[in-house]
Structure formats: structure tokens, C-alpha cells
A and B are shown apart, each in its own frame.
Chain A
Amino acid sequence: MTLTELLSRASAGDQAAWNAIVDRFSGLVWATARAHRLPRDDAADVAQTTWLRLVEHLGRIREPERLGAWLATTARHESLRLIRRAGREQPTDESDLFEAPDDETLDRHLLDLDRDGRLWRAFAGLSDRCKSLLRMLMAEDEPSYEEVGAALGMPVGAIGPTRMRCLDRLRATTEIAELGA
């Protein structure tokens, strides 16, 4: 079923159609909030508000096939709003991919200390710009470049080259770590 059909059904109250929309884009919305460095509680707030906004606008979405971009833009808007309202340093939480994990954290997530630990630490060592971009590309539903651009306020043309640069840097760091091991 197309997004146009799903949205149309959801507007008429079809819960199954709505659930399909939520399932398809929940990764994108969550990743957008997390790519803005929001801790889990705040990211949850942003995600909830974003979905409420979609419900408010059901039946009025002008380009239903570009719903992903609409959701990403809304989630970004709400993330920036929250950051602005808080106006202070956000505390980090222990499931923060952007921070290098200690052994205890790795243990808790049942991660292989060696391989996954190295990958996480290398990821955490990248620039903020790289981490935000890669965090979007790491979303379960593999967002399009248009959706990623909307989520980060980044021109679509810059995504490919930046992605390549960031992954090169990541690979170099993990390889260097391997040499040292």
C-alpha cells in the first residue's frame, strides 16, 4: 500500500494503517532526536510530540509520498525547540552512542568487548557532524538522503561525500586500534 493510501485510511481512523506508518518511520523519528544529542527522556518527548503533530495534520499532509521528510523535519523542529527551551547543557545517559562506553556499559548491553567495543569507541571518537550523520544512516528503516537532510538541516548533496569521509575515518580508527591490540 502506498503512503497516500495508508495516510488516507489512517485519517478515516484505520488503526492498522496508522500502525504501519508508525512502524515504518519510528526509527527515523527516534534517530533524528538522538542525532540532536538529546538524552533518552527528551528524545522520547520529541518522538511523542512528532507523532501527535502528525495526527493533528492527518488529512492535510500535502505530499503524502514524502511523509518521511515531513516527519524528519517535524522531529528536528521539536528537537531544536526542546534544546532552546532547556537552554542548558543536556545530561548524557548511559545508552549514549556518542560517548565512549566503559566495560560495564558494554557488559550491560551484552556486547562483544573486543569487536563491538572497538567499533563503539571509534564511533564515539568521530566529530559531532560525523556522529549525527551516521546516527541517521544507522536508523533501522534506512532513511533516504532526503529524509536525512531534513532531519539534520543538511543539504542533500553534501550527504554522500560526508558519509564517505566519515566512514573512511571510522575504518581508519578501528584499523589503528587493531594494530595496537
Chain B
Amino acid sequence: MSDDQREHETELLGELRRLARTVDPVPDDVTAYARAALGWRRVDAELAELLADSQLDAESLARSEGGGGRFLSFRAADLELDLEVQETDQGVVVLGQLAPAASAEVEVQRDDRTTIASGSSDALGRFRLELAEQGRVRIVVRRDPPAAPVETSWFDA
């Protein structure tokens, strides 16, 4: 490419960049949300990452076809959390199973910093929570010490 061509290219990209800046800048509220996200930093808790989501994964879709629910699986170092999420007329019902089974406090946090549901799992590690509406949430599990609290990654319920 000649120097002239290179210069033209740079100029043209510069104009395009200006166009994008004017027409499609990063929205202010997205930037604000991103900055505030540091507030979700885990200090003592462990992360339970999403392993599977039937909404995305063909194999699980086949399994869930009958029930009509959505299945999610999360795993932390020493805890697995399986959820079935069902949409109802009143909102969302979350049925959960902890493995290994444990009686624990369970909380659903939303990304606006509210706790929208809380309860506990029984001795078999099962729990049921009801959410009034859908949203971006995570689940926090607090077992007896010395186990650290576990927080799932954020997902859309």
C-alpha cells in the first residue's frame, strides 16, 4: 500500500470513528452501571459458575421439553447448585438443589442491590423461592461455618 493510500485509509477511518461517536456512543447509563459493578466484588465468598443452561444447550432443551421449566447448573469448588426456573402468572418460581445436601440460608439478589427473595434449604439441600418479576439475579448460599458463602454468577431469571 502506498503512503497516500495509507493516509486516505486513516482519514476515512477517522471520519467513520467520528460518525460512530456521534450516532452510537456508549450510553452513559451503561458506563455508570459498569463503574458501579465493582460493588459486587466478592470478598470472602466463592463463585459458583454457570455450567449449563437449558435455554442455550440443545441436549438440555430436549430434557426440559416435557417439564416446560428452565434448568441451570452452577458449580463452586465444594458445592453444586441445580436450579429449575419456572415462569408463572405471579412471577418466577425457583426450585433449587444443593449438592452435597446441606441446610443453608439462600438469598436471591438482584443487580439493583435488593434482595428479592430469601429462604433456606432443608436437610436434603432443597429449596423453593418465589420472585415477583424477572431480572438479572444471583443466588447466595450461606452454609454453616467454616464453609464460605457461595455466590452464583449473574443470570437472567
Q: Which residues of A contact B (CB under 8 A)?
A: 10-11, 13, 15, 18-19, 22-23, 26-27, 30-31, 34, 40, 44, 47-49, 51-58, 81, 84-85, 95, 97, 109-111, 116, 119-120, 123, 134-135, 137-140, 163-164, 167, 170-171
Interface size class of chain B, counting residues whose CB lies under 8 Å from the partner chain: 35 or more
Cross-chain contact A30 with B30 (CB below 8 angstroms): yes
> Is the CB–CB distance between A48 and B30 below 8 Å?
yes
Given known A137-B13, A140-B17, A164-B1, contact A56–B24 (CB-CB < 8 A): no
> Is chain B's binding surface mostly helix, strand, loop or mixed?
helix
Nearest Cβ in chain A — how far from B21, in angstroms?
6
Count CB-based A-B contacts (< 8 Å).
116
Interface residues of B in 18-35 (CB under 8 A from A): 19-27, 29-31, 33-35
B22 and A56 form a contact (CB under 8 A):
no
In the assembled complex, the CB of B90 is this many whole angstroms from the nearest CB of chain A, namely 23
Give the interface SS of chain A, mostly helix, strand, loop or mixed.
Answer: helix
B37 near A55 with CB under 8 A, answer yes
Q: Report if A11-B41 is in contact (Cβ < 8 Å); known contacts: A26-B31, A51-B34.
A: yes
A85: chain B residues within 8 A (beta carbon): 55-56
The residue on A at minimum CB distance from B152 is: A56
Bound CA–CA A54/B154 (angstroms): 11
Given contacts A19-B35, A120-B19, A123-B19, contact A167 B13 (CB under 8 A): yes
Q: With A51-B33, A164-B1, A167-B9 as given contacts, are A44 and B22 in contact (CB-CB < 8 Å)?
A: no
